[in-house]
Chains A and B, each alone.
Chain A
Amino acid sequence: MSTGADSQPRPWDASDRAPLVRIEDVSRAFDGVLAVVDVSLDVHEGEFFTLVGASGSGKTTLLRVLAGFERADRGRVLIGGADMAGVPPYARPVNMMFQSYALFPHMTVEDNVAFGLKQENLPRAEIRARVTEMLDLVRLAAFARRTPDQLSGGQRQRVALARSLAKHPKLLLLDEPLAALDRKLREETQFELVNIQERVGITFIMVTHDQDEAMTMSSRIAVMDHGRILQVGPPATIYEAPATRFVAEFIGAANVVEGRVLRREGDALVIRSEPCGADLVARHADDVPRDAAVAVAIRPEKIAVVPATNAGLNRLTGTVSEIGYLGGVSIYHVRLATGLTVRVQITNQARLSAPPLTWGEKVTLAWPPEAAVVLTR
């Protein structure tokens, strides 16, 4: 699911504008264990940028380096063109929304929101106006006098957001902002957060382990693994053109099979795949030497079930071994003669009392060459 990033302005393509955040070759190790390795990244003004990865991928460390809670062992961080080396958290034009929310339990909601404004020597009336503005933004005006322990989880999350936005930072860092919410609320809040970001016009950098969240909310995503950034791009690019096998498998579901390059046929490569017991044809522009070991990734929804008589490229036959009915779609596991299981997703367009395929049924799978991605890494 993508927000249709292609229709939006793409500040990261405009080379004439300096990025708001520039991360240059940043590395950070804890007790000799590398948490962040040679990360370079530009984030532009107005972006909703997401660092996505499994736990331990270094995404939170990178966020804390930006906030100033961790220093970088090597490399530079520039925010608004200024080098952040040696700049403590309280002097950075950055605010953070903590995963635990970190609301002050001994203060009311409005005091929490006003906390960051109070040492700025603003007139009292202005502080009050700003607090009201923020509480209206997150629809919590009625709860101004409550303390955090008198709020629900979702309300606390919104107080944390209001507090971190109150100072109008250049950059807001969000550490797993939705992780503590239950599923239904999380999905609603995803869109609310995007709307708020567009309204306030502040650049967001979010950390999440949830790839759906990253896909739904972000203008661009950076996929991290073992401290490195594997790929940066808009959600659609990450999904449709994953750069590595890890990205293909981490973002969305994918069937990834090994193979060796046989030859080039026009704009496609012919790949002999032992696990499939067949030659696969996949569109790939870059040159890959003959006999190179590659992987082919095919998304489950791009595979069709066709009649056995239907001939063409990329045909595999097998039997249905598992059926998962998810309502809108059904997931089928098809076992090939080689023992490989292929995941196929079919949209349930008609109201059916029985699934179109049953267990043990012999099926033929097919996909066009442009549906598959050749992964050399």
Chain B
Amino acid sequence: MTTLSHRLQTRLAGRTGRRLVIALPYLWLLVFFLAPFAIILKISLAETVTGVPPYTPFLEFAEETFVRVRASFDNYALLVREPIYFKAYLNSMRIAGIATAIALLIGYPMAYAITKAPPAWRVGLLLLVILPFWTSFLIRVYAWIGLLKNNGLINNALMAIGAIREPLPLLYNEFAMIVGLVYAYLPFMVLPLYATLVRLDWTLLEAALDLGRRPLGAFLAVTLPLSAPGAVAGSLLVFIPAVGEFVIPDLLGGAGTLMIGKVLWTEFFTNRDWPLASAVALVMLAILVLPIAVLQRRRGRAPDRGA
């Protein structure tokens, strides 16, 4: 009897312990994600007024007894009606997509090379990949201005060796923006790729060679599909922040670039239209979350095949 009750006790204790462990991240999400999300959602349904706060309250006391909900979808309607927002979303995704593709093309060989480097070198090489994080993000973006501007390092060097006469328009355009995005987010591509590649069983590649595939064919048939999870993870880690990026388009992209992060900033700080800015933010969230949710569901359905 004592052993039974004891066992029951430890089991209950174990269960509460487990619940606590699970509850903590949920609590974190509730306080720091769900609550702000609800506030933004609430603001997005309000109307702009001049005052503090600069929007109408969600709940209103009417005639002292009734509580009236004031919700309007005008802001969302505006997003659909005004083509500038649609264009901004589309342009953001296009730019982020190009930056992600380039980051993948640069990041994959980098991750592959680090994996293939002698083990003693790997830590050092990985350190180099994350070294930029030791410096402020803002300073690093400003540094690119110094590199790309008309009398910047690159143009001066090219003119000095006589390759060009006029400085190339490197700054304040899409090119500069993409350079900045690729540069800033490359580590997020390299690290998950490295993590998958380093766990890859290289005898699989030997087996492919042994069965008659040339090195490139073996890479395409074995290495590439088995490192796809790392490529997907890295691409998401680059694409998602790149879509909403504000600093890089603002500093490197110039006045003409239409990116959703900049639109959001303008609505919020210049126009002081908090409700519209909130709606912009929520739509962006929906655009980003939906494809990931689909992807997750697809991966959940297919059995995990190692890698």
Contacts and interface: CB of A to CB of B under 8 A. Distances in A.
Interface stretch (A14-22, A87-95, A292-300, A301-309): A87-95
Contacts of A89: 206, 209-210
A104 B208 CA distance: 9
A361 to B, nearest CB: 51
A149 B210 contact: no
B297 interface: no
User: Chain B: interface residue count, which band?
Assistant: 20 to 34
B289 to A, nearest CB: 28
Interface string B213-236: 110011001100110000000000
B211 interface: yes
Interface of A: 67, 69, 88-90, 94-96, 98, 100, 102-106, 115-116, 119-120, 147, 149, 163-164, 167
Contacts of B213: 90, 115, 119
Contact of B209 (A88, A100, A105): A88
A360 B100 CA distance: 81
Contacts of B124: none
13 contacts: A90-B210, A90-B211, A90-B218, A96-B206, A96-B210, A100-B203, A102-B204, A105-B305, A115-B213, A119-B217, A147-B303, A149-B303, A149-B306
A116 B307 contact: no
Contacts of A98: 203, 206-207
Given A90-B209, A98-B206, A106 B214 contact: no
A106 B303 contact: no
A69 B307 contact: no
A104 B222 contact: yes
B60 interface: no
A90 B307 contact: no
B210 A147 contact: no
A177 B306 CA distance: 23
Nearest to A120: B212
Nearest to A91: B212
A106 B307 contact: yes
B201 interface: yes
A88 B210 CA distance: 9
Nearest to B225: A106
A115 B303 CA distance: 22
Nearest to B211: A116
A100 B203 CA distance: 8
A69 B225 CA distance: 23
A102 B208 CA distance: 9
**A104, A120, A147 interface centre (most CB from chain B within 10 Å):** A104
B299 to A, nearest CB: 13
5 A-B pairs closest in CB distance? A116-B211, A102-B207, A105-B306, A102-B203, A89-B209
Contact of B211 (A100, A106, A167): A167
A67 to B, nearest CB: 6
